[in-house]
Chains A and B, each alone.
Chain A
Amino acid sequence: MTNLPSAVTAPRAGTAVAGGHAPAEGAASRHRRLTTRTGALFVTPYVLFLLVVFAIPMVYTLWISVHRFYFTAPGTHADSPWVGLSNYRDVFTDPVVGRAFLNIAVFLVINVPLTVLLALVLAAALNAKIRFRAFFRAAYYLPYITASVALVAVWQFLFGSDGFVNHLLGSHAPDPSWLVNSHLAMPMIAVFVTWKQLGFFVMLYLAALQNVGKELYEAASVDGAGRIRQFFSVTVPGVRPATTLVVIYAIITGANLFSEPYLLTGGGGPDHASTSPVLLMYQKGIEQGHPDFAAALGVVLVAFVLVISLAARKLTERGN
């Protein structure tokens, strides 16, 4: 995709040099203007989309976050006085917010490494010539395209207090049970999301594996490297850009966590044990009527995701 504009817009070297006359330069200039305008026309819908769906709401969110604000009926007046950083102070001093970010940290610590590891190993396996490869690829992808509500029902069937797993464990089952246990609720969500999203990440890695040259494996094989050595010395470095993408995407997914704690643990679990920042934004902004607090929390969350994503990128691209 990045090659396309330069291929279209760059004048062919021979044309200008061979011609060397003013009319030819003018034609090139006109051609450049035309292609620029055509390009601008093509990107207009996306720029508009970005402005309307992202930039304007983002600026509005920033505005709300520094005012005392609540939603009112259209055409009616309500004061929205400037309160400076007061909403941010409320966000940083609210213990539930701290708990929500801690929950996300727990989630990321479990979900991200597990996602990368499982997705890469499965992709490598599914990239090899194995029987029923198409079936396995579809099987891993199925949870990703299935509605969250349906998957939650499966998870509750497995891990509910009366569920299948507890029947197997008998007296060894945790008390309180998995989804209402303040120590287990968040890890359960992390594992659930890993399972649900795995197919998508496997697909990303499968695409990346197509670009790893077969000659590298052959060379490694000639040098006497076994399958495990080949995996660590050829596959892992070969898909490093994909790993960066997977890690950042997994972080963003984790930071946006909403439906899983909402559905799986009854809206935040025991004592906010599975409350996520986005769920908290919903509760504060919609259920409790404090959009100003929710806006400030949203801004903090964006900053959090940016910092974590940049750190993850540095980490995954180290040694490139």
Chain B
Amino acid sequence: MLRRTAYSLVALALAGAATATACGRAAPDATTAANAHGPITIWLSNNAQEVAWGKNMVGAWNKSHPGQHVTVQQIPAGKTSEEAISASIIAGTSACLVFNTAPASVPTFQKQNGLVPLSDFPDGDAYIQKRGGALTDQYKSQDGKFYQLPWKSNPVMILYNKKIFKKAGLDPEHPQLATYEQFLKTSRTLVHSGAAKAAIWPAPSSEFFQSWLDFYPAFAAQTGGKQLIEDGKPQFDSPAGRQVAAFWRTMYSEKLAPQELYPGDAVNDGKSAMATVGAWAVSAYKDSVDIGVAPVPTADGKSPDDTYSFSDEKSAAMFSACRNRGTAWDLLKFASSAQEDGKFLEATGQMPMREDLTDRYAGFFAKKPLYKAFARQAEHVVEVPNVPGSVDIWQAFRDEWTKSVVFGDQPTDTGLRKASEKISELLDEYGDQS
């Protein structure tokens, strides 16, 4: 009797689970969806200026496209946008378009069958290449298709607080930050004078993406624009990589950069005199910090026009849960048109991924010269390599970086060598799978 009851309960539970699975969302048919038009939802980052632009852009679209209503939302809350997007792919609830897709996550999203290849639209490749020009090709995936439209960049530069520089007895209009020696000397003055607790305060924690704000911009600058991996091989276990690591190790060992994560915004709170940030920070800090901008330092110093940095680019991507991909593609082109790019630049200060920004939007840069440095930097940027296993690769690098550079538990050269070996193994492993 009891056994029968138990069997019935198990059968009931399994039936419930099977029903739940059957009721899950099914993937839309790709051929039908590609030409379908109708209502869609798009997601934006939670940057206030960006959201304001998005609402205006969508308002303009909705006015002239009855029956193809677009709803705009911020990306659901999560530790990072990438985690929220990944979860939405698995649940089948992602928006049609996400205007905040990190290129490093594109291989993962592809593997999850979460992305629509934009190259499959008849005018896909042509539109993407025309819009982005020479900057575009590094965003192609390994199968030769575009799964993302490179949309905006926030080239990483050194942002500094003029008031703190002045307090430390430094000239805020002519900061000495071009070479490693100058940068270290300036940092020592800032900290030893008591003007700020930290000269600069990048997150010293172990998340894979943190290297994009300390190591990678400096590596790009030192090498004249090398990516972390080129031709299937890691590039950083090299004299340039070692110089970068030694420079940052000095910053940490002399307590010019703290080893502890700041539980807020160190620049806004006046705890740090400098930060490595993109153009978004100009409008974010405009009411609280009197800011200046300088290129990322190199060992011997380079002119701003020859200095490379990390792009901190975000793409727009279309997700496979989208049922009205015809509308999504049309909206993507509308949102990335020259006119909307101009409005986006005006509203947010972030750089649309286009060539000749300063000429194209000369009026804006004449009015706001601080942004001009970012626009010029946007023409000398490198992206994260678009390779399978990108997140694992960056995590392997970060683990060795925190161990050797941040905490000095092993020599920096050893850390770079170990990271390079591990990344080579990962590249082989992922290469074998493809």
Contact = CB atoms under 8 A, between A and B. Distances in A.
Interface of A: 33, 36-37, 40, 44, 47-48, 51-52, 56, 70-78, 96, 153, 156, 160-162, 176-177, 179-180, 182, 266-268, 270-272, 283, 286-290
Contact of A52 (B16, B112, B263): B16
A70 B111 contact: yes
Contacts of A76: 27, 113, 320
5 contacts: A179-B260, A266-B206, A287-B395, A289-B111, A289-B391
B9 A44 contact: yes
B407 A47 contact: no
B391 A74 contact: no
B26 to A, nearest CB: 4
A272 B206 contact: yes
A48 B13 contact: yes
Interface stretch (B85-93, B211-219, B370-378): B85-93
B2 A40 contact: yes
B25 A74 contact: yes
B126 interface: no
Contact of B26 (A75, A177, A271): A75
A308 to B, nearest CB: 27
A180 B259 contact: yes
Tell which of B5, B91, B406 has the most Cβ of chain A within 10 Å: B5
Q: Which 8 pairs, one residue from A and one from B, show the smallest C-beta to C-beta distance?
A: A75-B27, A76-B113, A51-B13, A266-B205, A75-B26, A74-B92, A266-B261, A71-B90
Contacts of A47: 6, 9, 13
Given A36-B1, A52-B16, A76-B320, A289 B205 contact: no
A77 B208 CA distance: 28
Contacts of A176: 259-260, 407
Contacts of A283: 395
A71 B112 contact: yes
A16 B391 CA distance: 73
A268 B204 CA distance: 12
A153 B264 CA distance: 12
Nearest to B17: A56
Contact of A288 (B9, B16, B391): B391
Given A47-B9, A271-B403, A272-B399, A74 B91 contact: yes
A272 B402 CA distance: 10
A48 B12 CA distance: 8
A270 B2 CA distance: 54
A141 to B, nearest CB: 27
A194 to B, nearest CB: 23
A33 B14 CA distance: 26
B268 to A, nearest CB: 16
Nearest to B30: A76
B114 interface: yes
Nearest to B12: A48
A51 B260 contact: no
B428 interface: no
B406 A270 contact: yes
Tell which of A76, A153, A272 has the most Cβ of chain B within 10 Å: A76
B363 interface: no
A74 B407 contact: no
A73 B409 contact: no
A73 B112 contact: yes
Tell which of A37, A72, A162 has the most Cβ of chain B within 10 Å: A72
Given A72-B113, A266-B206, A289-B391, 9 more contacts: A48-B16, A51-B9, A73-B113, A75-B24, A76-B320, A177-B260, A270-B409, A271-B402, A289-B86
Given A73-B321, A287-B83, A160 B260 contact: yes
